[in-house]
Amino acid sequence: MKKNRAAAFSAGIPWWLVLLVGLGSISVGTALADESYRVIFGAVARGFGVTMTVAVVSYAASLFLGLLLGLARASRLRPLREASTFYIELVRGLPMLVILYYIAFVGAPALAGVLNALLAPLIGMGAIPAFQSRNFSFATRAVLALTLGYAAFIAEIFRAGIESVDKGQVEAAHALGMSHSQTMLRVVLPQATRNVLPALANEFVAIIKDSALVSVLGVQDITQIGKVYAASTFKFFETYNVVAFFYLCLTVSLSMLVRALERRLNKASSR
Amino acid sequence: MSAFIRISDAVKTFGDPDSGGVRALDGVSLDVAKGEVVLVIGPSGSGKSTLLRVVNRLERLDSGEIWIGDDSVTARRADLRRIREDAGMVFQSFNLFAHMTILDNVSLAPRIVRKVPAAQAREAAARLLERVGLSDKLDRFPRQLSGGQQQRAAIARALAMNPKALLFDEPTSALDPEMIKEVLDVMTALAEDGMTMMVVSHEMGFARAAADRVVFMDRGRIVEQGTPEELFSDPREERTRDFIRHIL
């Protein structure tokens, strides 16, 4: 009897979390005790803002673009559907790193060229200077690349969400005289979004991790600062410990929030 | 009495007609007068649900014509909004909007389709919900209600658009036996108020209490029609007799 209760108690404990928090506390403890760790912490922390900005801005923009693409994918209009499927398949078939290089070194010059062509009269008059690739900072290019890449994943999530809504809901809305757009906006999308909320939140965790890719463009995020610091001090072990610690703090806590959200939604819909 | 809903020679095929698609409607003509209650019965796959769904154009006809009052349902440029305001629909699986309270379910369409001010729409919705006996459930979500309560709310939702006719597609088929009566009572009260109704259902009690006419369909055609008394007690056709023996 007593043994059973002990077993149940231990089964309720998320041991992986205990281990993670333990390791986290040990590393923080070591860091505070150790002068060189304190310095590394301070250095890498300077990249925290850049990492978060890149992640949050790219995520917000890709939510918006992904919603539009997802709606187009579920549209009744064939050209819209085809165009959005084309984009999604193209982008999902590329490694994120390649998208990043492509936008940074092909997309940015191309964008400058397009802007120059569009604004040619103004530039000719000397009202504004001609655009050059270097007008777009690497951070901007990185955000653009992550946005374009993640929009494709998020579009697929929205599409799945739209398809998960019972067809009877659409019929009922139509039978009440609602137009297609009213039905989508008032009946389908609210339910679809709710159904895919956990999946959307998981994409935020994923984009935080993928934001480390921007370091290849020299953007000063956590990873880039760590890379440069380690290379100049040869303290690879300590530096990458700190870098990993920063990412884990973000991702593990966010994943736990997503799980709590999921549990809440499940409870609400089974009530 | 002049016809309010006129269906003439309606044909609807599902699937590819060349490779043996299903003829859900195979030349159906039916007139429903204002205030008349028509019950449509028939075996599954006989086309009775399709007959309702082409009246408010949830499905489009292959050929034939349908009119509701002076509005053509089948014209290429038919005013869908008008048609659907004319003829409300109640579904077998209720189809209440799952993310909204009952009150919002009933007041949404008047607000966004007919542009009724929100406060007024809510007030009207509350009155309708009271009429179907749900005045204490306004703030509940559909999943918190029983099947019978959900179906009554769905009827209130259809009524909120002030329809001139109501289409009921097997309104009690998804309900537990003890909840069927509460829904039929609401429908009977509507019939007594003079609502024009087309009802797909096999509820004999409702047929006897409220139906003016019963139509028996089989394989996409109307086989026989008459008063409930005629059709149930003394059917002329062999197929009708067989079917009625099965459901009684």
- Give the residue ranges of DSSP H helices in chain A: 2-11, 15-33, 35-45, 48-73, 78-92, 96-102, 108-118, 120-124, 138-164, 167-175, 180-183, 189-210, 222-233, 236-270
Is the CB of residue B78 less than 8 Å away from at least one CB of chain A? no
- The residues, ordered by sequence, that sit 6+ positions from A108 with a Cβ below 8 Å of its Cβ are A133, A136, A141
**Among candidate residues A50, A75, A67, A69, the one with its CA nearest the CA of residue A218:** A50
Is the model's pLDDT at A2 over the cut of 60?
no
- Going by pLDDT thresholds of 50, 70 and 90, the confidence category of residue A265 is confident
Q: What is the pLDDT of residue B137?
A: 93
Q: Check if B60 contacts A (Cβ < 8 Å).
A: no
CB of B58 within 8 Å of any CB in chain A? yes
pLDDT surpassing 70 at residue B17: no
- Mapped onto helix, strand or coil, the DSSP state of residue B18 is helix
CATH of A49-270, one of 1.10.3720.10, 1.10.150.130, 3.40.140.10, 1.20.140.10: 1.10.3720.10
Please answer yes or no on whether A171 and B95 come within 8 Å at the CB atom. Answer: yes
The answer to whether residue B113 neighbours chain A at the CB level (below 8 Å) is: yes
Please indicate if any CB of chain A lies within 8 Å of the CB of B89. Answer: yes
Average pLDDT in chain B? 93
Q: How far is A115 from chain B (nearest CA, A)?
A: 41
CA nearest B54 in A: which residue?
A175
Contact B98 A169 (CB under 8 A): yes
* Average pLDDT estimate for B39-48: 92
In A, which residues are within 8 Å of B56 by CB distance? 175
CA distance A74 to A80: 9
Question: How close B97 comes to chain A (CA, Å)?
Answer: 6
Using only C-alpha atoms, what is the Rg of chain B? 18
B160-194 pLDDT, tens digit per residue, is 999 999 999 999 999 998 899 999 999 999 999 99
DSSP string covering A60-88: HHHHHHHHHHHHHHT-S-HHHHHHHHHHH
Question: Does the beta carbon of B156 lie under 8 angstroms from any beta carbon of chain A?
Answer: no
The shortest C-alpha distance from A201 to chain B (Å) reads 20
Residue of chain B minimizing CA distance to A166: B95
Please give the pLDDT value at position B204.
87
pTM attached to this predicted model: 0.86
Q: Which of A168, A172, A182 is facing B112, going by the closest CB pair?
A: A182
Burial of A118 (0-12, 13-18, 19+ CB in 10 A): exposed
pLDDT for position A271:
46
Does residue A206 have a pLDDT over 80? yes
Mean pLDDT score across all residues of chain A: 90
Q: Which of B80, B108, B114 sits opposite A186 (nearest CB)?
A: B108
Q: Which of A169, A176, A187 sits opposite B113 (nearest CB)?
A: A176
Residue of B49, B53, B83, B99 to mutate for A, most A C-beta atoms under 10 A: B99
CB B170 within 8 A of CB B46: no
Question: What's the N-to-C CA distance of chain A in angstroms?
Answer: 33
DSSP state, residue B28: E
Single-letter amino acid code for the residue at A165: V
Q: Mean pLDDT throughout B136-147?
A: 94
* Chain B interface mutation, best of A164, A165, A169, A176, highest count of B Cβ atoms under 10 Å: A176
Using a CB-CB cut-off of 8 Å, the residues of chain B touching A187 are: 97
The answer, yes or no, to whether residue A189 has pLDDT greater than 70, is yes
* Contacting residues for B184 by C-beta, under 8 A, at least 6 apart: B172, B203, B205, B206, B209
Question: Considering only residues 157 to 186 of chain A, which have any Cβ-Cβ distance to chain B shorter than 8 Å?
Answer: 166, 168-169, 171-179, 182, 186
Boundaries of every domain in chain A: 49-270
Average pLDDT over residues A7-14: 72
> Tens digit of pLDDT for each residue in A115-163?
888 888 888 887 888 888 788 889 999 999 999 999 999 999 999 999 9
Cα separation, B90 vs B165, in Å, equals 11
| Residue from the list B56, B82, B95 with its beta carbon closest to the beta carbon of A168 | B95
| For helices A236-270 and A189-210, angle between their N-to-C axes, nearest 10 degrees | 170
* CB nearest to B84's CB, from A166, A176, A186: A176
A194 phi and psi angles, rounded to 5 deg:
-60, -40
Q: Which residues of A touch B118 (CB under 8 A)?
A: none
**Which residue of chain B is at minimal alpha-carbon distance from A187?**
B97
Please tell me if residue B172 touches chain A, with a CB cutoff of 8 Å. no
Q: Verify whether the Cβ–Cβ distance A177 to B84 is below 8 Å.
A: yes
